[in-house]
Amino acid sequence: MRIFDSPASIAPQVKLLSNGRYQVVISNAGGGYSRWRDLAVTRWREDATRDCWGTFIYLREPATGEFWSTGFRPTLHPAESYKAIFSHAGAEFRLQKGDLEIHTQICVSPENDVELRRVTLTNHSRVRRSIELTSYAEVVLAVPGADAAHPVFSNLFVQTEFVRTNPAVLCNRRPRSEGEKAPWLFHLMVGEVGAEDTISCETDRARFIGRGRTPARPALPVGPTAATQERPSCTAAAIVSSSAATMVPPVDATARTIASQS
């Protein structure tokens, strides 16, 4: 087991999670990537000076407008207490933001090609708080080398659709030849049993991030105010982003799980 009490390190310290087919790499700052066999599921670039790629989860409190993330990346907001824990079972992040404790667990299923991210929020204050959770990842579904060589061209073949009944975001790469098999990805956010909430999504990076911005300061307010795209669509740069609001009772905890599968 390795424990890091700071996201700052000379080089990113990483944890590899894999079942032999599906791989997830997580850094001590919260960056990383996902791959399925020889395909990149999410976008990543090999650069030791930048750790801005991966699957991220934003948190926002509507009452104050303050937002941050479950790891140091991508918002770069410091926390009162920060721990990244790498064990044989998976990776964990524990943050303390005022009276709110954030515990994130990341693992890869040993049987199915799916990664799970479970976020548990503990409210240590004496007032009920509403916290909005928003996931974010740039979808590739292509060989890493091909995406690195022509990322704009690669984006043109990614198609996304929101299925409200589940609710989940489905992504697939349109085949470029008759014999090519199209890879699929689903992205799903669920809450605790009995929780009543509305899931919304956004699949257009230009709308979510905005021109001249980065995931550290997205243009679209994180939370369930994001737009919902229910028909298949293609954008200049596809992402998966699901949002939902969670009520955290005083001196209590609530959990939400995010799953991605290829």
Judge whether residue 235 has pLDDT over 60.
no
Please list, in sequence order, all residues whose beta carbon lies within 8 angstroms of the beta carbon of residue 212, skipping any fewer than 6 positions away.
Answer: none
Query: Side chain identity at 102, as an amino acid letter?
Result: I
- Give which of 50, 46, 16, 238 is closest to 142, Cα–Cα: 238
Judge whether residue 244 has pLDDT over 90.
no
Question: Which parts of 106-204 fold into alpha helices (H)?
Answer: 144-149, 151-155
Q: What is the DSSP string of 195-210?
A: -----EEEEEHHHHT-
- Quickly tell me which residue has 């704009």 as its tokens: 152
Q: Quick one: pLDDT at residue 206?
A: 86
When divided into structural domains, the chain yields a total of 1
Q: Could you tell me the CATH number of the domain that includes residue 162?
A: 2.70.98.40
pLDDT classification of 227: cutoffs 50, 70, 90: very low
Q: Quick one: pLDDT at residue 226?
A: 46
Query: Tell me: the pLDDT tens digits for 12-21?
Result: 899 999 999 9
Q: Which residues pair with 186 in a beta bridge?
A: 170, 261
Domain range for 29 = 2-261
pLDDT classification of 243: cutoffs 50, 70, 90: confident
Q: Quick one: pLDDT at residue 237?
A: 64
Q: Quick one: pLDDT at residue 194?
A: 55
DSSP state of 27: E
Of 27-41, 185-199, 227-241, least confident by mean pLDDT is 227-241
- In the chain, % helix, strand, coil (3-state, to 5) comes to 5, 50, 45
Q: Quick one: pLDDT at residue 196?
A: 54
Judge whether residue 230 has pLDDT over 70.
no
Q: What is the pTM (predicted TM-score) of this model? A: 0.89
CB 47 within 8 A of CB 27: no
Q: Which residues pair with 105 in a beta bridge?
A: 92, 118
Judge whether residue 215 has pLDDT over 80.
yes
Q: Which residues pair with 248 in a beta bridge?
A: 129
- Give which of 5, 22, 24 is closest to 14, Cα–Cα: 24
Q: Quick one: pLDDT at residue 193?
A: 61
Q: Quick one: pLDDT at residue 254?
A: 79
DSSP state of 180: P
Please state, in angstroms and rounded to a whole number, the distance separating the CA atoms of residues 126 and 89: 34
Of 36-40, 184-188, 235-239, least confident by mean pLDDT is 235-239
Per the prediction, the chain carries an average pLDDT of: 87
Average pLDDT value for residue range 62-79: 92
CB atoms within 10 A of CB 36: 19
Query: Tell me: the pLDDT tens digits for 138-174?
Result: 999 999 999 999 998 888 889 998 888 877 899 999 8
Q: What's the start-to-end Cα distance of the chain, in Å?
A: 28
